[in-house]
Amino acid sequence: MSLEELQRKIKTTDDLREIVSTMKALSSASILQYEHANKSLNIYQNNLRDAFHALVKQSNFSQITQKKFSTDNYLVLLIGSNNGMVGKFNRELLQAAETDLRHQHISPQQTVFLPIGKRMVMQLQQNKLKMQASYPVANSVKEVSSLAENIILQIDAAITKLKISHVIMWFHQRGKRGMVEITKTNLMPFDSTKIAHYKNTPWETNNIPLIANNPKMLFSALLRESLMISVSRALNLSLAAEHYTRMTNMQNAEKNIDENLAELDQKYQQIRQEEITDELIDIISGAEALKKNREKND
């Protein structure tokens, strides 16, 4: 390989390293914004718990809980990614969901999927699985709420059209040790035990908020808000996990590029030194030839 070819290769590798470093920095910044958004959702969820608490304390909870379904049809939400550079992020999520469904003896005829993310849609298409609808992943925190709202509308449509009785959501999140883990959440049917205990839980003050609305209508509205929080949080967690995975991959790529650059630079220096040595030999040989010619002429 010539010096010119090596120089071009070194420049191309340098340019690639800049791109990788930029992607790593963008992913790092994105993780923080999605994690911050979930902190705000946690505060809102605490307010929602207080609303459930007040409602249960003043109403006949057994009469306002959701109705039971006579069917066993499943809607499975899979939150994946739009973009690559995330390894097996989408494939492993689908495999986890399919394995879980098989262990529960849930047949494909009972199941319809709702994929979030273009790469996840491709995985479902490859496996020829039935889809209710599909959405691209949100590109920013601001888009998460509208995406969550669209997902909830699709859940409502599936309940009405397909008589869905169970809604399961699968997504990635970062664990306590920073490792990305696959998480499963049962969205429907709603687990009434989560709020039933409020009936016997004392209110913090002597003034329980007055419930002026119809208890059933209020319960339905609170349930929808709870679902909205669950879906929004999962979207944020998945996006943070996606960016963390990409950032980790970019760090590994950056390390490999640096090693490659070091090898190319060493090779460049070696070839350059060989050329300099050849040039010196040519100069010395020429000088010696001139000297001999002079001596001969003298």
Is the pLDDT reported for residue 67 higher than 60?
no
pLDDT in tens, 111-155: 999 999 999 999 999 999 999 999 999 988 999 999 999 999 999
- The pLDDT value given to residue 208: 79
- pLDDT band at residue 212, thresholds of 50, 70 and 90? confident
Decide if 268 contacts 9 (C-beta within 8 A): no
Q: The tokens of 263 are what?
A: 């090898």
Closest CA to 168 of 230, 103, 236: 230
For 98, residues 6+ apart whose C-beta sits below 8 A from its C-beta are 127
User: Where is pLDDT greater, at 153 or 189?
Assistant: 153
User: Where is pLDDT greater, at 66 or 215?
Assistant: 215
Is the pLDDT reported for residue 293 higher than 80?
no
Closest CA to 251 of 57, 18, 79, 20: 20
pLDDT in tens, 230-257: 999 999 999 999 999 999 889 899 889 9
* Cβ-based burial of 191 (10 A; exposed 0-12, middle 13-18, buried ≥19): exposed
pLDDT, mean over the chain: 87
> Distance between CA 238 and CA 170 in Å, rounded?
9
Is the pLDDT reported for residue 61 higher than 70?
no
- The pLDDT value given to residue 80: 96
- As a whole-number percent, the residues of the chain with pLDDT over 90 amount to 45
To the nearest 10°, report the CA torsion of 229, 223, 60, 65: -130
* Cβ-based burial of 144 (10 A; exposed 0-12, middle 13-18, buried ≥19): buried
- The pLDDT value given to residue 65: 57
Closest CA to 79 of 185, 179, 160: 185
Q: What is the mean pLDDT of residues 67-83?
A: 85
> Distance between CA 116 and CA 128 in Å, rounded?
16
pLDDT in tens, 91-115: 999 999 999 999 999 998 899 999 9
For 147, residues 6+ apart whose C-beta sits below 8 A from its C-beta are 116, 135, 137, 138, 235
Give pairs for 191-195: CB < 8 Å, separation 24+: 192/61, 192/65, 192/66, 195/49, 195/52, 195/53, 195/56, 195/61
Domains of the chain: 33-245 (3.40.1380.10)
Is the pLDDT reported for residue 66 higher than 60?
no
Is the pLDDT reported for residue 17 higher than 70?
yes
In the chain the first and final C-alpha atoms are separated, in Å, by 45
Q: State the pairing for strand pair 74-79/166-174.
A: parallel
Is the pLDDT reported for residue 59 higher than 80?
no
